Amino acid sequence: MSAVVQSSTGSFRPQPLAVGRGDRTVVLDGNGRIDLDTFLAHVRGVAAVLPAGRHAVNLCEDRYRFLVTFCAVALRGQVTLLPPSRAPAVVTDVLAQYADSYSLGDGLVEAVPPGHWRLPEPLPSLAGEVPAIDESAVVAIGFTSGSTGQPKPNPKTWAAFRASTGQNLAALESLWQGHALANVVATVPPQHMYGMELSVLLPLLGPAGLHVGRPFFPQDVARVLDETPEPRLLATTPVHLRALVESGVRLPPLCGIVSATAPLSQELAAAAEERFGCEVREVFGSTETCVIARRRTARETAWTPLPGIAMQPRPDGTLVSAAHLPLPVTLADLVELEDDGRFHLRGRQSDLLEIAGKRASLGDLTRRLLAIPGVVDGVMLQPGEGDARGVARVAALVVAPGLDEEAILAALRESIDPVFLPRPLVRIAALPRSETGKLPRAELLRLLRM
């Protein structure tokens, strides 16, 4: 088969699927390393045996096999679908939306859709030239998380991914302080756009290696980092970072920690920097835009846009323009710009509350809930449009094993106006967080109705 896939647009500009010398390390684990030449041979081999189709949902649990099959699918001229979760019902729904689609995986998934294609073992390998594809080709469709409603598709071209990877390098490269490359350990799945950017595109298109593990518990994170050569970069989420700080686990020296997917509190960022002796750099973005800004949360509240990013505040959100975006994108996030171009996030229009003439935001109310000693996790939300008078009450889901409802409400009364006290307040064993810490609104509403 050809090592170049051409788009149907007529304009053809081939770009490599991976960059660097053939002997550079692409991935590693506790048993060894895989170089670029070996990786590309696996890509060519898998591309030659893939099923026919136009779209593929990549369910590979093994991070290396995800990397290989993502590139193989692109090389065949197919598009990888990235559902907001790998729950069977969600995957089936996404497959039904796209004609001539199939799912593929490495055999580690418990439930698979009908017609699922299993990756052969051992991985097939073919010699050949460096694979390349047309930069205008759509290689992936990422879906928003559904935290604010129905997940929405967002097509990504190879040119857009190349441009966003360059921006990520501009945001992160100073963390590895002059070394030729960093070795990334990620707690986030590659199917999520943040995981795609840090644990797929960075090793393919940037000076980075990747540990194939996806550790979850603090002890697992420490073990995987111990297996990873310096400089080590940990890509994680606030949920995982909090667990690491509170566990007391020892981590080897890190060149930096990157956090995304949910707001990171200044207190947690500062605690992590003190505990692990490195900078915690928070990045801001979305499925629609990829990463567009960064900040050192322990020391600053303002965000610095990445090179080439332009932001225009709107009454209902923010218009974002960038070289990697075919058209400007409107985000629901409200921002306040400073004279030097930096900005502050001011929540979302849908998060702003006005009850009895008083104003608050769900984000700030949630932050105050989480600050209560004994509250392990929690979220504030408005479950409906309002009562007969148009007043929409606030509700809360709280994980606090040692506190009853009255104790939580009493603590909240000390920091928020009584009109924003949650009714109902439902204590549960755990919030339905996704692999990246997101909270799908539909699941939250279901728990409130139980």
Q: What is the DSSP letter of 447?
A: H
User: Containing domain of residue 62, as a range?
Assistant: 1-151
Strands 4-5 and 14-16: unpaired
Q: How far is CA 171 from the centre of its chain?
A: 16
Strands 425-427 and 395-399: parallel
Longest dimension (CA), the chain: 70
Dig out the tokens for 74 from the structure: 């692109």
- Where residue 397 sits, what CATH number does that domain have? 3.30.300.30
Task: Say how far apart CA 194 and CA 237 lie, in whole Å.
Answer: 10
pLDDT in tens, 62-72: 999 999 999 99
Residues 206 and 229 occupy one common structural domain: yes
Handedness of CA 155, 157, 163, 169 (dihedral sign): positive
Task: Say how far apart CA 413 and CA 366 lie, in whole Å.
Answer: 13
Instruction: Give 388's pLDDT tier (boundaries 50, 70, 90).
Output: very low
Dig out the tokens for 215 from the structure: 């550790």
Mean pLDDT of 416-426: 90
pLDDT score at 235: 96
Q: Which amino acid is at 219?
A: Q
Domain end position, chosen among 151, 167, 199:
151
pLDDT score at 435: 73
Instruction: Give 148's pLDDT tier (boundaries 50, 70, 90).
Output: low
Residues 341 and 412 occupy one common structural domain: no
Residues 334 and 217 occupy one common structural domain: yes
Residues 6+ apart with CB under 8 A from 350: 148, 332
Q: Is 75 helix (H, G, I), strand (E, B) or coil?
A: helix
Residues 143 and 48 occupy one common structural domain: yes
Domain end position, chosen among 115, 130, 151:
151
Domain end position, chosen among 151, 185, 207:
151
Instruction: Give 411's pLDDT tier (boundaries 50, 70, 90).
Output: very high
Residues 131 and 14 occupy one common structural domain: yes
Residues 6+ apart with CB under 8 A from 396: 369, 378, 379, 380, 381, 408, 422, 424, 425, 426
pLDDT score at 135: 93
Nearest to 15 by CA among 110, 99, 132, 97: 132
Q: What percent of the chain stands above pLDDT 70? A: 93
Average of per-residue pLDDT values in the chain: 89
Look at residue 8 and tell me whether its pLDDT is greater than 50. no
Residues 202 and 287 occupy one common structural domain: yes
Mean pLDDT of 39-65: 95
Residues 131 and 161 occupy one common structural domain: no
Instruction: Give 391's pLDDT tier (boundaries 50, 70, 90).
Output: low
Mean pLDDT of 16-20: 93
DSSP result, 85-144: ---HHHHHHHHHHSTTEEEEE-S--SS--TTPEEPPSSPP----SPPEEETTSEEEEEE-
Instruction: Give 338's pLDDT tier (boundaries 50, 70, 90).
Output: very high
pLDDT score at 300: 96
pLDDT score at 149: 55
CA angle 12, 166, 326 (to 5 degrees): 50
Look at residue 234 and tell me whether its pLDDT is greater than 80. yes
Look at residue 419 and tell me whether its pLDDT is greater than 80. yes
Look at residue 389 and tell me whether its pLDDT is greater than 50. no
Residues 96 and 176 occupy one common structural domain: no
pLDDT score at 350: 73
Residues 191 and 327 occupy one common structural domain: yes
Residues 256 and 363 occupy one common structural domain: no
Distance separating the N- and C-terminal Cα atoms of the chain: 55
pLDDT in tens, 72-102: 999 999 999 998 877 788 888 899 999 899 9
pLDDT score at 362: 86
Look at residue 1 and tell me whether its pLDDT is greater than 70. no
Task: Say how far apart CA 51 and CA 156 lie, in whole Å.
Answer: 22
Residues 6+ apart with CB under 8 A from 323: 163, 308
More confidently predicted of 110 and 244? 244
Look at residue 384 and tell me whether its pLDDT is greater than 80. no
Instruction: Give 392's pLDDT tier (boundaries 50, 70, 90).
Output: low
pLDDT score at 146: 59
Residues 117 and 191 occupy one common structural domain: no
pLDDT score at 5: 47
Look at residue 211 and tell me whether its pLDDT is greater than 70. yes
Instruction: Give 47's pLDDT tier (boundaries 50, 70, 90).
Output: very high
Residues 322 and 254 occupy one common structural domain: yes
pLDDT score at 85: 79
Strands 352-355 and 358-361: antiparallel
Instruction: Give 147's pLDDT tier (boundaries 50, 70, 90).
Output: low
Look at residue 372 and tell me whether its pLDDT is greater than 70. yes
Dig out the tokens for 395 from the structure: 């509700």
- Pick the range with the lowest mean pLDDT from 1-15, 174-188, 409-423: 1-15
| Burial of 38: CB neighbours in 10 Å, binned 0-12, 13-18, 19+ | middle
Look at residue 272 and tell me whether its pLDDT is greater than 80. yes
- Where residue 1 sits, what CATH number does that domain have? 3.40.50.12780
Mean pLDDT of 292-306: 96
- Pick the range with the lowest mean pLDDT from 1-10, 33-42, 290-299: 1-10
* Number of domains the chain contains: 3
Look at residue 442 and tell me whether its pLDDT is greater than 50. yes
Look at residue 214 and tell me whether its pLDDT is greater than 80. yes
Q: Which amino acid is at 90?
A: V
pLDDT in tens, 252-266: 999 999 999 888 989
pLDDT in tens, 150-162: 678 899 999 999 9
Nearest to 276 by CA among 334, 313, 221: 221
